[in-house]
């Protein structure tokens, strides 16, 4: 076996030749190089390389070098004195530069991802006093979030002939609202809402995971009764081997919405929650005006009919016209009622899901079926991913390209500046 | 030079004085480094005139950056780092020019372009070294930078400088030994 007897490495030997060996090592390396024939040869080879390299003389600058530099530099050399320092565009420390870079990148991403004409915000994005977002950009977005806003609604209802107690219409009646069947406890549509106040149709969606699914239906009914609301649609899914779920479209008096939502959230763990508001003031005012005109037209036609001065054919024509106008009036009245219903009763799309716990006893599907389903799911997932990538590229590609072009030169300049500062350090 | 004491100022002190508004200090630095910087570029760029232009650009960069100068490292490290940046930029431009216009890039192999007979073997051999190994070796042999300074200029650890330098020296020795007989035969055939 060949055992090395060298006490220094060849790199240490080279460092010693270059005068780069440590103070304590120089003597030891020199002694070893003196005694070791192999290291002497290595040292000689290294010296030989250095000597051969020294043969390449690059020469001196040409005589014009100084003059050319003076012409190039102009008066820059003299102007270093008192030269006003440009304000630093980037922070001095590396951490600061990283932070500035991240903030800039965040701003760019936020700008790119900003959705124009956004009408709905998730609750987590809303400030406490900004819960209700009106689609009318001219109107105050959070009018109904304040006590003053609520008072104005109550005042509007009261002025319209509705008896208001604690923000709620007192009069209740059994009624049919479009195709929706309301329970007896549900309030009837009230008298026309005063048109002077902004009318906001509020909607909310809520997805909750509950532990005790069996008792949730009773709790839901209790909440609806407490807030004098009703459900317009209710679907319960109890598929075997999977979590049970309940989908309900609830109607709650608008003034009760916040409290009702709080009660509903108490049923379990909230997964998602969104709230939005749509202003329908203009639509309502337009409908009222058209309704008034149609009623006046009907009255005039009835007055003509009472005179009975024309032929029978003309009388029949007037009656047909009255029937047509009457039909229009009834249709518009229905629309008005529906609109006011949307304003008075907020809509909550509620999804209650059971916290699923698998049971050992449940029969599992056959493995080939599961494999096939997994393959189909995988294929769909792959296709969806490809489509998603394509959509992303189509949707954001031009913007990203534009920003890349805009940011290229500043970033390059900043990068060079950073490199210069690193070199200077 | 300090006229009162007769002692030479350090490069760093001269640069500080220049940054504080004494142009004579820069004159002294220019006098000290004009030949080394010209040599730095002449050994790395094909065209000697272009090499001088790049050397002038290096000094210009020093002038422009004087207001921001901070003596955190040796001035010559600072100077050669600027020179190396300018050289990289020049090579990048040459590469792009070659890519667009076609043909070979003149700066792709800067150490193997001199047509003079003397030392041609050496330059050819240097040109065959790995680019980073060659740069380490040349900074050590021609610019006489210390290992730590080479590490600063190239942005690599000192141990890497040491190992690359050793590798480059041995590789160069082997190349020189292998090429020497061929070269002698060529010269003989010519004569």
B60, A73: Cβ pair inside 8 Å?
Answer: yes
Higher pLDDT, A229 or A176: A229
A210: in domain:
yes
**Given this model, what pLDDT does residue A164 score?**
36
Judge whether B142 is closer than 8 Å to chain A, CB to CB.
yes
Give the SS3 label for residue A154. helix
The yes-or-no verdict on residue A1 having pLDDT over 80 is no
Looking at CA atoms only, how far is residue B188 from chain A in angstroms? 21
Average pLDDT score, chain A: 74
Q: Which residues in chain A have Cβ-Cβ distances shorter than 8 Å to B21?
A: 80-82
Looking at the fold, whether A136 and A39 belong to one and the same domain comes out as no
Task: Report pTM.
Answer: 0.45
The yes-or-no verdict on residue A381 having pLDDT over 90 is yes
Looking at CA atoms only, how far is residue B5 from chain A in angstroms? 25
Looking at the fold, whether A44 and A165 belong to one and the same domain comes out as no
A53, B68: Cβ pair inside 8 Å?
Answer: no
| ipTM of the predicted assembly exceeds 0.90 | no
Looking at the fold, whether A136 and A240 belong to one and the same domain comes out as yes
Looking at the fold, whether A166 and A282 belong to one and the same domain comes out as yes
Flag the least confident range among A96-110, A122-136, A195-209: A122-136
A55: in domain:
no
Tell me which chain B residue has its CA closest to the CA of residue A57: B39
Higher pLDDT, A178 or A90: A90
CA distance A79 to B47: 32
pLDDT band at A127 (very low <50, low <70, confident <90, very high): very low
Judge whether A49 is closer than 8 Å to chain B, CB to CB.
yes
Tell the residue number behind the tokens 């009222």, with chain if given.
A288
Flag the least confident range among A183-192, A408-417, B41-50, B104-113: A183-192
**Given this model, what pLDDT does residue A80 score?**
58
Domain boundary residue among A292, A319, A354? A354
A175: in domain:
yes
pLDDT band at A27 (very low <50, low <70, confident <90, very high): confident
A424: in domain:
no
B19, A69: Cβ pair inside 8 Å?
Answer: no
Query: Structural domain of residue A17, as residue ranges?
Result: 10-48
A61, B118: Cβ pair inside 8 Å?
Answer: no
CA distance A385 to B68: 51
Residues near A273 by beta carbon (within 8 Å), at least 6 away in sequence: A122, A123, A204, A205, A206, A207, A261, A265
Residues near A232 by beta carbon (within 8 Å), at least 6 away in sequence: A177, A180, A182, A249, A250, A251, A347
Flag the least confident range among A333-337, B22-26, B176-180: B176-180
Nearest to B110 by CA among B178, B52, B40, B179: B40
B43, A59: Cβ pair inside 8 Å?
Answer: no
Number of structural domains chain A divides into: 2
Looking at the fold, whether A19 and A152 belong to one and the same domain comes out as no
pLDDT band at A84 (very low <50, low <70, confident <90, very high): very low
The yes-or-no verdict on residue A424 having pLDDT over 70 is no
Judge whether A15 is closer than 8 Å to chain B, CB to CB.
yes
The yes-or-no verdict on residue A223 having pLDDT over 80 is yes
Q: Which of B65, B137, B162 sits opposite A424 (nearest CB)?
A: B65
Looking at the fold, whether A159 and A23 belong to one and the same domain comes out as no
Domain boundary residue among A291, A323, A354? A354
Looking at the fold, whether A180 and A313 belong to one and the same domain comes out as yes
Pairing of strands A245-253, A230-237: antiparallel
A98, B84 in Cβ contact below 8 A? Answer: no
Q: Which residues in chain B have Cβ-Cβ distances shorter than 8 Å to A77?
A: 23, 26-27, 63
Judge whether B179 is closer than 8 Å to chain A, CB to CB.
no
Looking at the fold, whether A32 and A173 belong to one and the same domain comes out as no
- Note the pLDDT tens digit of each residue in A254-264: 888 888 888 88
- Note the pLDDT tens digit of each residue in B136-184: 999 999 999 999 999 999 999 999 999 999 999 999 998 888 876 666 6
- What's the N-to-C CA distance of chain B in angstroms? 53
- What's the N-to-C CA distance of chain A in angstroms? 50
CA distance A291 to A293: 5
Looking at the fold, whether A144 and A283 belong to one and the same domain comes out as yes
Distance from CA of residue B133 to its chain's centroid? 13
The yes-or-no verdict on residue A222 having pLDDT over 60 is yes
Judge whether A55 is closer than 8 Å to chain B, CB to CB.
yes
**What percentage of chain B exceeds 90 in pLDDT?**
39
B39, A425: Cβ pair inside 8 Å?
Answer: no
Give the SS3 label for residue A275. strand
Higher pLDDT, B185 or A325: A325
A359: in domain:
no
pLDDT (average), residues A73-88: 58
A233: in domain:
yes
Mutation site for A-interface testing, chosen from B162, B168, B174 by largest number of A Cβ within 10 Å: B162
Looking at the fold, whether A30 and A178 belong to one and the same domain comes out as no
Count of Cβ atoms closer than 10 Å to residue A344 Cβ: 24
CA distance A132 to A322: 43
Looking at the fold, whether A331 and A189 belong to one and the same domain comes out as yes
**What percentage of chain A exceeds 90 in pLDDT?**
11
Domain boundary residue among A328, A354, A380? A354
Flag the least confident range among A87-91, A228-232, B93-97: A87-91
A382: in domain:
no
Q: Which of B56, B59, B82 sits opposite A423 (nearest CB)?
A: B82
The yes-or-no verdict on residue A189 having pLDDT over 50 is no
Tell me which chain A residue has its CA closest to the CA of residue B116: A56
pLDDT band at A376 (very low <50, low <70, confident <90, very high): very high
B59, A73: Cβ pair inside 8 Å?
Answer: yes
A158: in domain:
yes
Looking at CA atoms only, how far is residue B103 from chain A in angstroms? 27
Highest mean pLDDT among A20-34, B62-76, B139-153: B139-153
Looking at the fold, whether A154 and A34 belong to one and the same domain comes out as no
């Amino acid at each position: 076996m060949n055992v090395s007897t060298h006490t220094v490495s060849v790199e240490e030997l080279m460092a010693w030749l270059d005068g780069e060996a440590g103070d304590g090592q120089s003597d030891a390396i020199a002694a070893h190089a003196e005694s070791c024939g192999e290291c002497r040869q290595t040292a000689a080879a290294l010296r030989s390389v250095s000597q051969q390299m020294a043969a390449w003389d690059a020469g001196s600058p040409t005589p014009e070098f100084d003059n050319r530099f003076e012409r190039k530099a102009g008066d820059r050399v003299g102007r270093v004195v008192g030269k006003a320092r440009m304000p630093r565009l980037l922070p001095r420390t590396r951490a600061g530069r990283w932070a500035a870079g991240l903030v800039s990148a965040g701003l760019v991403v936020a700008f790119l991802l900003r959705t124009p004409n956004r009408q709905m915000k998730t609750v987590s994005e809303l400030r406490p006093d900004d819960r209700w977002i009106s689609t009318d950009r001219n109107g105050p977005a959070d009018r109904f979030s304040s006590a003053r806003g609520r008072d104005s609604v109550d005042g509007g209802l009261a002025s319209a002939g509705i008896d208001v107690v604690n923000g709620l219409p007192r009069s209740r009646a059994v009624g049919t609202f479009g195709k929706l069947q309301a329970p007896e406890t549900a309030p009837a549509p009230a008298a026309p809402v005063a048109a002077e106040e902004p009318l906001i149709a509020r909607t909310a969606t809520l997805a909750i995971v509950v532990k005790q699914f069996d008792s949730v239906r009773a709790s839901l009914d209790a909440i609806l009764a407490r807030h004098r609301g009703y459900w317009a649609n209710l679907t319960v899914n109890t598929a075997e081997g999977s979590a049970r779920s309940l989908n309900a479209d609830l109607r709650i008096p608008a003034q009760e919405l916040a409290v009702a939502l709080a009660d509903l959230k108490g049923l379990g763990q909230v997964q998602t929650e969104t709230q939005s508001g749509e202003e329908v003031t203009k639509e309502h005012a337009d409908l009222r005006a058209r309704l008034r005109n149609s009623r006046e037209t009907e009255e005039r036609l009835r007055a003509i009919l009472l005179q009975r001065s024309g032929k029978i054919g003309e009388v029949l024509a007037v009656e047909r016209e009255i029937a047509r106008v009457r039909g229009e009036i009834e249709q518009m009245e229905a629309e008005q009622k529906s609109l006011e219903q949307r304003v008075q009763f907020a809509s909550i799309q509620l999804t209650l899901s059971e916290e699923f716990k698998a049971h050992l006893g449940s029969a599992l599907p056959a493995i080939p079926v599961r494999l096939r389903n997994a393959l189909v799911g995988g294929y769909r997932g792959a296709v969806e991913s490809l489509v998603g990538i394509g959509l992303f590229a189509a949707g954001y590609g031009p913007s990203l390209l534009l920003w890349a072009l805009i940011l290229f030169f500043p970033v390059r300049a900043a990068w060079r500046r950073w490199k210069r500062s690193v070199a200077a350090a | 030079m300090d006229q009162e004491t007769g002692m030479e100022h350090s490069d760093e002190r001269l640069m500080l004085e220049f940054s504080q508004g004494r142009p004579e200090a820069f004159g002294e630095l220019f006098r000290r480094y004009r030949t080394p910087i010209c040599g730095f570029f002449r050994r790395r760029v094909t065209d000697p005139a272009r090499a001088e232009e790049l050397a002038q650009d290096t000094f210009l960069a020093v002038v422009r950056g004087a207001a921001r100068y901070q003596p955190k490292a040796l001035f010559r490290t600072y100077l050669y780092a600027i020179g190396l940046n300018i050289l990289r930029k020049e090579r990048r431009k040459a590469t792009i020019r070659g890519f667009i216009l076609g043909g070979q890039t003149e700066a792709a192999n800067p150490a193997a372009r001199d047509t003079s007979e003397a030392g041609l073997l050496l330059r050819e051999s240097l040109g065959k070294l790995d680019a980073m190994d060659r740069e380490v070796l040349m900074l050590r042999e021609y610019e006489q930078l210390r290992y730590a300074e080479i590490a600063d200029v190239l942005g690599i650890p000192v141990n890497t400088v040491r190992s690359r330098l050793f590798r480059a020296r041995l590789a160069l020795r082997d190349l020189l030994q292998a090429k020497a007989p061929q070269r002698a035969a060529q010269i003989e055939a010519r004569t």
